[in-house]
Structure 1
């Protein structure tokens, strides 16, 4: 073996310096990536505006039925009952029974007691989180099963489908998430068994 084939090993610091990219090249790469992202976002916005399949919110307003309640937020669950020409809506502290044209048929308030709200806040939760957010809304025959977060102490109730009168209260642990920020889905079987998945 000749001396020309022998390589002298670099010490670790020289090796790092030689392989690490310069700050200016990283800045150039970041600029290129940012430019590509902005270009794609701009192109997507242009396509959406010119796409005949895209209808803006403002274009829909004059021809759409809408339901709002200025005192209520977080309309989170919908249960369509086509046989009775109605939709049951779960919101923060309320359940609504609306016609399919969104006319109010009934409003049922389901608020947290002041003692429960105080206890929830004493545990470090915000005032807004310590409300009753309806997270499960399922039909079974002529009844509705509704569950809410109830200030991080989940609660459920069976109600009549035609007037939202409570017929029974149940504990909601393992049926409804504690937090209003949780994602969940629920399904009630024909036999009345509730299946819930929460993340």
Structure 2
């Protein structure tokens, strides 16, 4: 049995202890000084806080849970499983009972009409549905009950994903259903009144085995934070770099009949620590999480060292102005797959 704990820290009671060191909080202290909710559900990959209704909504395996925000009292548990027929088809396809379930991966609140977008893996064929956030059993439907979740939710529960709902538009970053057996990583804009757009399909210059971490909405851009294999240093081996990709929210695509972003660009997010001799440094290349402190426009990133080397973590802080100054500077281009990456700043090279 897997037990899930949600902890609401009572910081004041911990600080009252004279021996308290604010830098460290033990697991036992968390249990002693927090509100706890536990049940047999697991695979909690989607969590959203609904302050307007004073609740927290959690996506799990075959279920969505609503808890009160103050004391984690259970408000509702709605069961959403894959149909028997879909499970059979899935099992015949991948020979895995565990993956042939519905793992909830997207929980996005839309404020103007009080609706909640829910997407799940649905036995390797993702689907989405709009429901009421205060009554998960109530469906909000326009023309069709279920919406294709392809590109919005990963089809495999082990794959990463990120999303952000802006008014009527959903920005998502995930691994789409494979085309001819090849995975299709993408950043996508859907439900748009103008045009549904995505990153270039099967182009490793855009995305190379990405692990998506978070999407932020900071006008007039949408920023996607992820890590991926670095193509610009393949001659030195398969290195993983952290990235942030920027897309203009007013992007209308490259051409009339194209579904590819025109404004897409990305940069390396560097977090390093110089050693005492100041000549060498540790590069914390693997981004794990992102927090945006909106009042100060600060972005906090948690990074790990590569698993093949020493064990270590770091937190680095960036400003929006720092990111924008890099996006406005020169960038790397490659004329062909055999040529070196070189610095360029011309619009013609950027179009290539």
Does TM, scored on the shorter chain, surpass 0.5?
yes
> Does 1:187 find its partner at 2:159?
no
- Provide the secondary structure at the position in 2 that maps to 1:181: coil
Q: What TM-score do you get using the length of structure 2 for normalisation?
A: 0.41
Q: Which runs of 5+ in 1 are unaligned?
A: 1-49
Structural mapping, 1:130-149, within 5 Å: 130-141=100-111, 142-149=114-121
1:151 to 107, 123, 127: 123
1:170 to 134, 143, 147: 147
Structural mapping, 1:27-46, within 5 Å: none
- Provide the secondary structure at the position in 2 that maps to 1:65: strand
Specify which structure has the higher proportion of helix: 1
Q: Which runs of 5+ in 2 are unaligned?
A: 1-19, 175-209, 211-352
Q: Name the larger-Rg structure.
A: 1
**Per-residue deviation at 1:77?**
0.9
**Per-residue deviation at 1:176?**
1.1
Matched length: 148
Question: Which residue matches 2:58?
Answer: 89
**Per-residue deviation at 1:73?**
1.0
**Per-residue deviation at 1:52?**
4.7
Alignment partners' CA distance in 1, 2:157 and 2:80: 15
Larger RCO, structures 1/2 (Cα 8 Å, 6+ apart): 1
- Provide the secondary structure at the position in 2 that maps to 1:96: strand
**Per-residue deviation at 1:65?**
1.5
**Per-residue deviation at 1:167?**
2.2
Q: 1:52 and 1:189, CA in 2 relative to 1: closer, same or farther beyond 3 A?
A: closer
- Provide the secondary structure at the position in 2 that maps to 1:98: strand
> Does 1:124 find its partner at 2:94?
yes
Alignment partners' CA distance in 2, 1:132 and 1:67: 22
Question: Which residue matches 1:41?
Answer: none
Specify which structure has the higher proportion of strand: 2
- Provide the secondary structure at the position in 2 that maps to 1:122: helix
CA displacement, residues 117-166 of structure 1 (integer Å, 9 cap, x when unaligned):
11111112411111101111100021100100000000101000111122
CA displacement, residues 25-82 of structure 1 (integer Å, 9 cap, x when unaligned):
xxxxxxxxxxxxxxxxxxxxxxxxx965111111110211122221x21111111011
> Does 1:68 find its partner at 2:38?
yes
> Does 1:79 find its partner at 2:51?
no
- Provide the secondary structure at the position in 2 that maps to 1:136: strand
2:44 touches 2:61 (CA, 8 Å); kept in 1?
A: yes
Alignment partners' CA distance in 2, 1:163 and 1:113: 22
Structural mapping, 1:44-63, within 5 Å: 52-63=22-33
Task: Please report the RMSD computed on the Cα atoms of aligned residues, expressed in angstroms.
Answer: 1.5
Q: What TM-score do you get using the length of structure 1 for normalisation?
A: 0.71
> Does 1:197 find its partner at 2:166?
no
2:91 touches 2:100 (CA, 8 Å); kept in 1?
A: yes
- Provide the secondary structure at the position in 1 that maps to 2:47: strand
